[in-house]
Every structure is written in structure tokens, then in C-alpha cells.
A and B are shown apart, each in its own frame.
Chain A
Amino acid sequence: MAVLVVADHDNAELKDTTNKTVTAALALSSDVDVLVAGKGIAGVAARAAKIAGVRKVLTAESDALGQHIGEALSACVAPLMGAYEAVLTPATTVGKNFAPRVAAMLDVAPISEILQVIDANTFVRPIYAGNALETVRSSDAKKVITVRATAFKAADEGGSAPIEAVDPGPGAPHTRFVSEEIVKSDRPELAGAKIVVSGGRAMGSAEEFHRVIEPLADKLGAAVGASRAAVDAGYAPNDYQVGQTGKVVAPQLYIAIGISGAIQHLAGMKDSKVIVAINKDADAPIFQVADYGLVSDYKMAVPALMEALTAAGR
């Protein structure tokens, strides 16, 4: 039977996490449809139709769907599930918000943040902040799954699936959108970036965080991240937070500056390909997971690193 992927997008652009979720879905079934639920999403749907392996793209449009309201999304997705044996969506704040609702509506157990598909009923997922991996087998006829996108390769482009509109559902009669503050940035998105430069509590102030972390990130074309301590102290906005309770990243290169390496931070970045740690405390736990370490005050190390990168032609 077919499976449904609910696309991750901001009404303007399709996110790479969708392609990664399609890869997870193709491990369950060769019939994968993608639902793009939002507002003014023709461009997003056209992109989704190009993902290789996608059979059909469904579109649903309403104001509430465009605002990613959980009640509206679940009310749109649940009635479609007659035709699917599973629904998968990336474990973003949107996905985590609506997917369990769909599970409750179908009276099934949700399966959160899968890292691996063993077979159509069996999945691996992290528990205890990633300190343990749980293999679970579902006995439900229909599965509702969120996918940790960094654990899957992105499905290629090259498809040309047909696009078909479906019922957007009743919306969210008891929930009203008030406002949104989305940080605009020219830097790559944290979750999908190839290089991430993160700063920790050692920065000491928001000004210092900007002054030290951002130029290095820009030199490397990297996204900017932060530890929970730095976010809690107000040095960086909350959506910069890398960790079990923030964003989970797995870039090619992760540079941790002035971050000690608390368990909850490591859980958010330890699957990075190469980890660099810069910290003046040689005993900081971050060095236990770092491929390359510089035991040095960031005030010295970061300018030196900028210089060495310039010398190396970056």
C-alpha cells in the first residue's frame, strides 16, 4: 500500500528535509505521494513533483494551513489516511506539532524522530537525549511517523509527478494566528547546512557572539548555531540552539567555539561528519567527540583561524 509524505515548506520554498523524508518513505513502499498543505503553494508543489520516486503530489490550501496550524494540518491529513498505510513528515516544529494529533485521530501510536527504517513495521529512534537507541515494532495497521531528516540522504530530483488538489479540511475553528517573528538571514539554514559554526557561553555577551561567530560563519558559508547556555543567557536567539531540545544537525563540518559539550548539546551535533572544538579548557567534554581540537582561548584562536583560512584561499 502507498505511503504519504507531508512536505516541509514555508509556502514559498520546499525544504530539503522533504527530499530526505521521501527517502525514508521509499524504504516503506514504492508508492510515495507528497502532500503540500499551505497557502499559495503552487511553486512548492511543482518542486515536490520533481522529486525522483514521487508518484503523485497532493495540494491543500487554506489560511490556517498556510500558517502551519497543527489542528488544521491534522484535520487535513487524517481523512486522507484511508488510502495510505503510513504518513511520514520531518521532525520539525511543524511536524512534531501535528503528527501526534493524526495518530490520536487514527487511534495508533505515533513513532517519533526515526533514524532508520528496518522494515515496514520496525524503526530505530533515539531516546534519553540520544544516549540510547530504541528499536520499536508497530502493530498498527497505519503508522504515523516523524523523521529525523539528518539521518537520511535526500532523494534526487528527476521526477515529474502529477499534481492534484485535495480537500483542505475544516481549518482550526478555536485557534487564531496572531503573529510570527521569523528571523531573516542570508546564511544557510541550520538544519541543512554543510558547515555549522556554533558559539557557547564563553562568548559572554550577544555583542561578542556577533563579533566572533558570525564573521567566521560567513567566511565559511556556514550556518550559525549556539549552545543552550548561550541561548539561555540571551547571546543568541532561541532558533540557533543546537541540542536535544533545540535543533539536531549533522553537517560535514561542525565548529564548536567556547562550548563545553553538555550531554544535551552533544545529542544535537554528534552525528556531524567532522567536529572541531575550540576551548581553553583542555578537559572540556567537547574534546571527547571532536576530531580536531584547539586548546586555546577563542579570542586568540578565532582571529588566527580567520587568518589561516584567508591564507588558504577562503
Chain B
Amino acid sequence: MKVLVPVKRVIDYNVKARVKSDQTGVDLANVKMSMNPFCEIAVEEAVRLQEKGVATEVVAVSIGPIQAQETIRTALAMGAERGILIQTDADPEPLEVAKLLAAVAKAEDPKLILMGKQAIDGDNNAVGQMLSALLGWPQATFASKVEVSGETVRVTREVDGGLQTLELDLPAVVTADLRLNEPRYASLPNIMKAKRKTIDIKTPDDFGGLAKGHLEVVKVSEPAKRVAGVKLENAAELVAKLKTEAGVI
């Protein structure tokens, strides 16, 4: 069973995004970039499926600038077998990303697409669902447990209020939530080995092209800042403030 894992290069999880003063976007110059944490979880899950003998090949695909090769390289160091980079300096919208990935899926013919539930830059939480709809494959989003058996996959999902378990016919799209697993750190020998693995560099035109976006970003602004309040001496003073000053209890 081949598993396709889309991965995205984003601002590092530990870096606080700063809005550019001209409000055209977030300043990414000289900022540390890494693999989107949810994508990392998806790669880990795919590699575990491979180690269990369920997956026969794990292919990592990324859409982005030439530097996104490093992101693919990270996936290869974790255990993916080969990579595909669809190189573009455009920042395609989720719909365009889903269309490119659907074309990759048609060419690669995987049984399972495992991907992050959202990227921590755009926070859209949309590509997996759109890809599933475009391919006509079933979907299970926000996965906290994935079990493949034969021609089906059983997925436990984190939903509001608890957990839901679904069984999907393969091929299917599964998106990873935070608690699916804890991604490994690639070992030095595996990082060295990853350097010899293949990354095919393609263009959007190889997969049907990139259409014009549907959304125009008018501006990107900073949210209103909260001002630090007062530190109080004791609980009695706190209750008095909440009652009389804030009026919330």
C-alpha cells in the first residue's frame, strides 16, 4: 500500500508571527521555517505504517518555493522513501493546493493520503477535506488513531465533546490531529541517508497548472492587544474586584 503525505513549509512553531508595517502580510524574511507540525505528525504516522509492514512506500509531496526541498528532506530523514516538489513561488490557496494534490494522487495512485489537519500559517483547515471531495474518496479529519486493515481504515477522530470512530473504504484521505502520535527526531545516519533519496522537482503545469486565486488579501493587521492588568494581594481582593469592578460574578 502506497501512502502519500503532503507536507508544507511554514514559519517555525516556536516563532511568533509579526505583521509587516505596510499590512501586506506577515514578515517571513530571516524567520526560521520548518515543517508544519501537523504535517510532521502525518509523516510519523505514515512511517509507522511502513514499519508495521502495512505501507509499502511513503511518498512526501510539497508545494512551494525551492527551499521546500528541505521540508521534504526532513520527511525523508524521518523515513519517507522519496519526494516530489511542485515548485512555485506563488502562495496558492487551499482550493488550488487541493487540485494539484488531486492530480498528484491520480499520477501516484496511493491507497491512503495522510496529511495535517491544518497549516499553522493560513489556519484554513481545508485542504484535506477539499482533496477528498475532488477525488471522491472518503475522509476522516482530526485523527487521533489510525488502524488499517485490508481494504479499510478505522479512524478515531477528535470531535467537540469527545471522540468519534469511523471506518472508511480505501483509498481515503485522513488528516492528523495533535494527539495522533509524537513525531520522532531524525537520527544523524537517517539524515545522511535522506540526502541520497530522490526528490523529483516538478512545476504546477505538470499537474494541471495553477489557476488564479479566488481570494484577494486586502490587508493583514495586528489583533487588538490586551493590556496587562493588576496583580492582587489575595483571593478576597480578587472576589471583591470581580464582583464590583468587573461585575462578572
Contact = CB atoms under 8 A, between A and B. Distances in A.
A293 B236 CA distance: 13
A237 B238 contact: no
Among A287, A288, A292, A304, the most chain B Cβ lie within 10 Å of the Cβ of A292
Contacts of A293: 229-232
A256 to B, nearest CB: 13
A290 B232 CA distance: 11
Contacts of B159: 68, 93-94, 239
B215 A111 contact: yes
A42 to B, nearest CB: 22
A136 B223 contact: no
B109 interface: no
A54 B157 CA distance: 33
Given A93-B158, A128-B123, A263 B223 contact: no
A96 B242 contact: no
Contacts of B226: 270, 275, 288-289
Given A103-B126, A138-B215, A314-B249, A93 B95 contact: no
A181 B162 CA distance: 6
B121 A127 contact: yes
Interface string A199-239: 00000000000000000000010000000100110000111
Interface in B148-183: 154, 157-169, 172, 177-179
Interface stretch (B53-61, B78-86, B137-145, B195-203): B137-145
B129 A138 contact: no
Contacts of B246: 253, 273-274, 291-292
A70 B235 contact: no
B125 A103 contact: no
A245 B178 contact: yes
A100 interface: yes
A179 B246 CA distance: 44
B236 to A, nearest CB: 4
Interface residues of A, number: 93
B52 interface: no
A228 B214 CA distance: 34
Contact of B166 (A112, A175, A253): A175
Contact of B235 (A137, A178, A237, A304): A304
Given A176-B166, A181-B163, A134 B217 contact: yes
A83 interface: no
A104 to B, nearest CB: 4
A198 interface: no
Contacts of A292: 229-232, 238, 241-242, 246
Contact of A195 (B169, B219, B248): B248
B158 to A, nearest CB: 5
B249 A220 contact: yes
Contacts of A111: 215
Interface of A: 10, 67-71, 74, 92-94, 96-105, 107-113, 122, 126-140, 172, 174-183, 191, 195, 220, 228, 231-232, 237-239, 244-245, 247, 252-253, 263, 270, 273-276, 282, 287-295, 301, 304-305, 307-309, 311-312, 314
8 contacts: A128-B121, A136-B215, A175-B139, A180-B165, A238-B158, A253-B246, A275-B226, A294-B235
Given A239-B162, A244-B123, A312-B249, 18 more contacts: A71-B139, A94-B159, A100-B94, A100-B126, A128-B123, A131-B18, A136-B218, A140-B214, A175-B140, A177-B164, A178-B154, A178-B167, A180-B164, A180-B165, A245-B177, A247-B160, A263-B16, A276-B238
